[in-house]
Amino acid sequence: MMDSFIHFYITTIFLSVFFLINTQSDPLSTLESTIISHGGQVLRITDSQYKAAATLHNRAIQTWPELILRPATHDDVLLALSTLSSLRIPTRIMGGRHSYGGYCSHQGIVLDSALLKDLKIDWETETITMDAGVIWDEVYRVLNGTEYVIMGGLCPTVGVVGFTLGGGYNAMYSRSYGFASDNVLKFKVALYNGSVVTASSEINPDLYWALRGGGGGNFGYVLQMTQKIHRINETHMPNGQFTFLNITWINVDIKIALNNWLTFLKEVADNDIRISFNVIVAVNGESNFLMMYCSFNGPSIEIDTVFNLWLLKDPKPTFNSMFNYTQNDISRVLAIPFPVVNREHVLSAMAINITEAMLDVILDFQPNSTADIGSWTELIYLHSATKDKNTAYAFPDISFDIAPGVSWRNPDNDPYAIDMSEKFLQKLIDAAAPTKSIVGAYLNYIDPYLPNWQTMYYRHHWDRLREIQTKWDPTWYFRFPQGIPPYNQQSNAYKLPNKNSMVIISSFIILVWFY
Ligand SMILES: Cc1cc2nc3c(=O)[nH]c(=O)nc-3n(C[C@H](O)[C@H](O)[C@H](O)COP(=O)(O)OP(=O)(O)OC[C@H]3O[C@@H](n4cnc5c(N)ncnc54)[C@H](O)[C@@H]3O)c2cc1C
Ligand SMILES: *[C@@H]1O[C@H](CO)[C@@H](O)[C@H](O)[C@H]1NC(C)=O
Ligand SMILES: *[C@@H]1O[C@H](CO)[C@@H](O)[C@H](O)[C@H]1NC(C)=O
Ligand SMILES: *[C@@H]1O[C@H](CO)[C@@H](O)[C@H](O)[C@H]1NC(C)=O
Ligand SMILES: *[C@@H]1O[C@H](CO)[C@@H](O)[C@H](O)[C@H]1NC(C)=O
Ligand SMILES: *[C@@H]1O[C@H](CO)[C@@H](O)[C@H](O)[C@H]1NC(C)=O
Ligand SMILES: *[C@@H]1O[C@H](CO)[C@@H](O)[C@H](O)[C@H]1NC(C)=O
Ligand SMILES: *[C@@H]1O[C@H](CO)[C@@H](O)[C@H](O)[C@H]1NC(C)=O
């Protein structure tokens, strides 16, 4: 009787001491209070702002993190990284939350850049310096009405850093001015251990090369970057306006319409980088839809001479309208609400050209009649884009990003929708095989189901990227399913903490020893 009382008494003391040690000397609590004291936020599922902060663009891949850290200063990002990496707690870097694979989030701790919003324009050097949390809409607003454009995305809610690290094309301007990654002059990068480095053509050129197209979430946390802006004065229009055409064919023979377009590209547009296209093809049973967004980065008096011969061919467009838009106007009219209501799955095939066999596959991409799934194929025309060839982006030779997509309402994960789109991609690749027309996949349309993603995204750059990762993130702290692994990586070096089980296990070991 007495004996068991003593045992109970000692057990209680042990447990209390362990809980006390565990809560008092917790560097994570110190990190949290430092972040808050500098105007940052720490969000858990019980906080009212948590849901909006954790919601991803694509609901199909939504995960709910245990903790969202939102530092308000660069120094607090460094502190967060040194604290978390020395505790061996993995983290994910969260930006604009538009990753189709959801790799900006996970069930553990997320380091979110949402409060890092600094943005400065230098008109003298024609550059803009942006913090990690800036989204394109914020940049377009400050440039609106000036003569300048920047190589951002058409969707205004995409994050500037995530976009740029994956290459980042602007479907209206990249033929004239290159990709976002070509336009970066300098990155400020936080390494996994909280050290900070600059990457530019002069300082750490290997990291500079890798960050321009090597993909978000690898190498380090980009705190800030400086990009070139471009004066679009060749349009002879005021306030940075340019001609935007919206040409649509509905329920006609769109195979003929698409072939007419491909002929126009070969005869005219391939040799005129002022012309850009973003095309959407959708077929559903008997009905079909072909919509082309086109921009012309030249004087509007030339529009008729450039486009009319093509547009007079049969089948003629069902609708054809022309607008004078700024970059900000265009992102507003094309804006997709964030977060989207539908779940979606988007893929990509980087193509040298579109052959007849590939067209047939594209025109056959539709769900069976019972499935409640929408499908489309986007064709982004990038022929002879003004590219810097010395970056990690591996596709200076392509003419199109062919990006099929599906969307559905429920459930979160629709195996039929995923299967149908992945099979479509495979059919497209097979159709392109005899002509070697498809050479990879676009990293910014990251696809968690893509086989051979290493060579599909990176081609011949894979080994060099691994070497660079080995130098800058040797223990693979910044890891995610399609991340670039360093050589000799220590697997399981980082684990999600489970404080309670640690206390229970250590108490149990001591109690066993005591008895
Ligand atoms: C509607 C829509 C339209 C799109 N249009 C285009 C387009 O026109 N052209 C184009 O090229 N792409 C386009 N994309 C793809 C888009 O560029 C990528 O999804 C991009 O990765 C999104 O970046 P994010 O910061 O918004 O997303 P996030 O999901 O937050 O981040 C994407 C990846 O980058 C990492 N990351 C984020 N911030 C940092 C940082 N500061 N340092 C290091 N890593 C970081 C994340 O960990 C994650 O792995 C579009 C996507 C959507 C959903
Ligand atoms: C952007 O600038 C254009 C041209 O000056 C103007 O017509 C438009 O209203 C502006 N948009 C916004 C949102 O201010
Ligand atoms: C456009 O601006 C550049 C310099 O930014 C200048 O060299 C060029 O002459 C300008 N062109 C027109 C048509 O104004
Ligand atoms: C383009 O035209 C189509 C068909 O008329 C229309 O549905 C769509 O809203 C238009 N888009 C823009 C951005 O003008
Ligand atoms: C667009 O601008 C051009 C050149 O300034 C002008 O001639 C044309 O009428 C404008 N078009 C529209 C639709 O406003
Ligand atoms: C497409 O490109 C491939 C590879 O460059 C080439 O062999 C083929 O002839 C091209 N086909 C067409 C229709 O342009
Ligand atoms: C058609 O779609 C339904 C609903 O998604 C699916 O259950 C069924 O297997 C599909 N049928 C075929 C033949 O693919
Ligand atoms: C952080 O890591 C980098 C790259 O491995 C290394 O060069 C640097 O010395 C490290 N900094 C600290 C403070 O350990």
pLDDT tens by residue, 217-232:
999 999 999 999 999 9
As a whole number, the mean pLDDT across the chain is 92
On whether the CB atoms of residues 385 and 175 are closer than 8 A, the answer is yes
Cα-to-centroid distance, 150 and ligand 7 (Å): 44
On whether the CB atoms of residues 14 and 507 are closer than 8 A, the answer is yes
Mean of the pLDDT values across residues 421-431?
Answer: 97
Q: Please tell me the predicted confidence (pLDDT) of residue 25.
A: 61
Mean of the pLDDT values across residues 419-444?
Answer: 98
Residue 493 belongs to a domain = no
Cα-to-centroid distance, 181 and ligand 1 (Å): 13
Q: Token pair of 353, please?
A: 């050209």
User: Tokens 């300098």, residue?
Assistant: 186
* Nearest-CA residue for atom 13 of ligand 6: 355
In sequence order, the β-bridge partners of residue 280 are 291, 378
- pLDDT (tens digit per residue) in 39-49: 999 999 999 99
Of 199, 190, 184, 71, the C-alpha closest to 473 is 190
Mean of the pLDDT values across residues 491-498?
Answer: 63
* Span of 73-77, 249-253, 341-345, 432-436 with lowest mean pLDDT: 341-345
Q: Please tell me the predicted confidence (pLDDT) of residue 412.
A: 83
Residue 476 belongs to a domain = no
Residue 58 belongs to a domain = yes
CB atoms within 10 A of CB 175: 25
Q: Token pair of 172, please?
A: 């209206």
Residues with CB under 6 A from ligand 2: 144-145, 239, 326, 328-329
Atom of ligand 5 nearest to the CA of 299: 4
Q: Please tell me the predicted confidence (pLDDT) of residue 386.
A: 86
% of the chain with per-residue pLDDT over 90: 85
- pLDDT (tens digit per residue) in 85-102: 999 999 999 999 999 999
299 lines ligand 3 (CB under 6 A): no
- pLDDT (tens digit per residue) in 306-319: 999 999 999 999 99
* Predicted TM-score of the model (pTM): 0.93
- pLDDT (tens digit per residue) in 356-411: 999 999 999 999 888 899 999 999 999 999 888 899 999 999 999 999 999 999 88
Quote the CA–CA distance of 258 and 479 in Å, as a whole number.
42
Q: Please tell me the predicted confidence (pLDDT) of residue 133.
A: 98
4 lines ligand 7 (CB under 6 A): no
pLDDT-derived band of residue 503, with 50, 70 and 90 as boundaries?
very low
SS (H, E, C) 99-153: CCCCCCCCCCEEEECCCCCCEEEECCCCEEEEECCCEHHHHHHHHCCCCEECCCC
Q: Please tell me the predicted confidence (pLDDT) of residue 113.
A: 98
| b (16+ CB within 10 A) / e for 412-451 | eebeebbebbbebbebbbebbeeeebbbbbbbbbbbbebe
CB atoms within 10 A of CB 351: 24
Residue 330 pLDDT > 50: yes
* Nearest-CA residue for atom 11 of ligand 4: 246
Q: Please tell me the predicted confidence (pLDDT) of residue 180.
A: 98
DSSP string spanning 319-365?
EEEEEEE-HHHHHHHTPPPSS-SSEEEE--EEES---HHHHHHHTT-
Cα-to-centroid distance, 104 and ligand 3 (Å): 41
Residue 244 pLDDT > 60: yes
Residue 367 belongs to a domain = no
Quote the CA–CA distance of 490 and 485 in Å, as a whole number.
10
Count the domains in the chain. Answer: 1
Candidates 148, 177, 229, 231: which one to mutate for ligand 3, based on the most atoms within 8 Å of Cβ?
231
369 lines ligand 7 (CB under 6 A): no
Residue 512 pLDDT > 60: no
Residue 40 belongs to a domain = yes
Residue 293 belongs to a domain = no
- pLDDT (tens digit per residue) in 404-414: 999 999 888 88
Residue 49 belongs to a domain = yes
CATH code of residue 33: 3.30.43.10
- pLDDT (tens digit per residue) in 254-298: 999 999 999 999 999 999 999 999 999 999 988 999 999 999 999
Q: Please tell me the predicted confidence (pLDDT) of residue 389.
A: 86
Residues with CB under 6 A from ligand 8: 191, 193, 195, 472, 474
Q: Are strands 109-112 and 91-94 parallel, antiparallel or unpaired?
A: parallel
Domain of 63, in residue numbers: 2-112
137 or 14, greater pLDDT: 137
Cα-to-centroid distance, 256 and ligand 3 (Å): 39
Q: Please tell me the predicted confidence (pLDDT) of residue 413.
A: 82
436 lines ligand 6 (CB under 6 A): yes
Q: Please tell me the predicted confidence (pLDDT) of residue 489.
A: 74
% of the chain with per-residue pLDDT over 70: 90
* Nearest-CA residue for atom 6 of ligand 6: 435
Q: Please tell me the predicted confidence (pLDDT) of residue 499.
A: 52
Candidates 370, 406, 422: which one to mutate for ligand 7, based on the most atoms within 8 Å of Cβ?
370
Residue 95 belongs to a domain = yes
Q: Please tell me the predicted confidence (pLDDT) of residue 370.
A: 86
Cα–chain center distance at 405? 15
246 lines ligand 4 (CB under 6 A): yes
Instruction: Tell me 489's DSSP state.
Output: -
- pLDDT (tens digit per residue) in 100-113: 999 999 999 999 99
Mean of the pLDDT values across residues 121-129?
Answer: 98
